[in-house]
Structure 1
Amino acid sequence: MVNNIDFGNRIQKIMNHYAISASSFADYMGVGRSSISHILSGRNKPSLDFVMKIVDAYSDVDLQWLLYGKGTFPKTQNNPVEVPPSAPIPEKNSTVTTAQDLFTHPPAEEIKSEDLTTSEKKLSSAIISTEQKIEKIVFFYADGTFSSYQMKKT
């Protein structure tokens, strides 16, 4: 039987080996980011499909090592590390952080008006002109509490 905590630790070891974040790991394999988060925390057990995606995506991961911790990782200690194509390659002087927020999205690129087609400009002006009104704002705090603010009707 697979131990959830040990399995999560082995996933973390793979991510550390390739110097990638949990979100990059999930994106590369085509699984949900929350799946990685739940497995790393020991909340969920991995599915067979999930395990096979890891073994298929990362050739240095041995199935027996991944499931039961038997054997070694990487499979061949002498071969140079092959970084998956979508994994970010850290710069020489950068620090790799392994604990990252799985839900933060990178800032969107600024799109210039002159780069848009006429139909895209019409669509964007239609979206901008639609006024959406905020009804409620909720703040969630690290200690598990929250504050809710209801907007006044005008």
Structure 2
Amino acid sequence: MREKLLDLMKNEGLKPSQLAETLGINPAGISHILAGRNKPGFDLLQKILRRFPRINPDWLLLDAPQMYREQIPGNPTQSQSAVPENEPTGGLFGQPATEPGRPGISPTSVTERPESPRTLTELLVGKKAGVSVTRIVLFYDDQTFESYTPEKTMK
């Protein structure tokens, strides 16, 4: 698979970091695959085939001799930069994207706070009886995270 990625980058004129950005993955993932440390997962293979629709899946997965398809299934004139039909085009969680500087929340859609303040742990535990939260992890877009462990409460 390492050779396949190298061939893809060569034919598409991409560096490893550019390929990672194009596929929307961490550059270290590509680096580890190229170094032989990791093998690509199913998600990566899907992203390659979605981003580069001309790539022959048989070449990528089954070592067929032809790297590119003769025709792209469904739409022979589809370009590589087109957004795949099954990819969301809106914002996070399928919500429509808003323009910068224009908040997407109107004053009428804001809900009031509950009368009695509750902790996040109490809110989450109330959703599922018999279980408790052991850890909360927040992931940030700069590839960092924070982990919170709730204090045990005596009942």
TM-score of the pair, normalised by structure 2? 0.44
Larger gyration radius, structure 1 or structure 2: 2
Higher helix share: 1
**RCO higher in 1 or 2 (8 Å CA, sep ≥ 6)?**
1
TM-score of the pair, normalised by structure 1? 0.45
